[in-house]
Copies of this chain bind each other. A is one copy, B any other.
Amino acid sequence: MKKPDRTAAGDAFAAFSMSVIRLSAHLSAEGDALAKPSGQTSARWQVLAAASHANMSVADIGRILGLARQGVQRIADLLEAEGLVRYEENPAHQRAKLLVLTSEGETTLHDIQTRQAAWADALGAEFRAEDLRATTEVLARVLDGLARPKASRR
């Protein structure tokens, strides 16, 4: 089967895309491993971290994480059932309650973040900080580039 022709730039972007997706799968697995000793997962950790950063509604967290709000709602309800977060009245919105960490949630998040710090320090030491920063910057620019046309497509 003949493959459609791509420009050299197109080839570069395609290879870049596949690398990002593949590495992301591995990084998520790492996140799960970091969260597991606390009985949590990568997804729950992200919601805990978002709620810890600022009191937000489920829909707010969905926007920040780039996830559908329904998925975040599912995680948040599970975290509430486990006593790691609670819903607080939102003076600005009757339905959109604010997600707040309980003290148990704070402890759990702190445990995960402690493991994450050791992990990030060890891996960060294997690379030149300048390379990581330059790479992160390109990733951010691509994300911007993606966000623009995407808005007009939906």
Contact = CB atoms under 8 A, between A and B. Distances in A.
Nearest to A154: B33
A17 interface: yes
Contact of A124 (B13, B25, B110, B134): B13
A152 interface: no
Interface in A128-150: 129, 131-136, 138-143, 145-147, 149-150
A70 interface: no
A126 B16 CA distance: 13
What's the number of copies of this chain in the assembled complex? 2
Interface string A1-42: 111111111111111110111111111111101000000000
Given A7-B125, A132-B138, A134-B134, A21 B27 contact: yes
Interface of A: 1-17, 19-31, 33, 52, 65-67, 101, 106, 109-110, 113-114, 116-117, 120-127, 129, 131-136, 138-143, 145-147, 149-150, 153
5 contacts: A4-B110, A21-B28, A23-B24, A25-B66, A126-B145
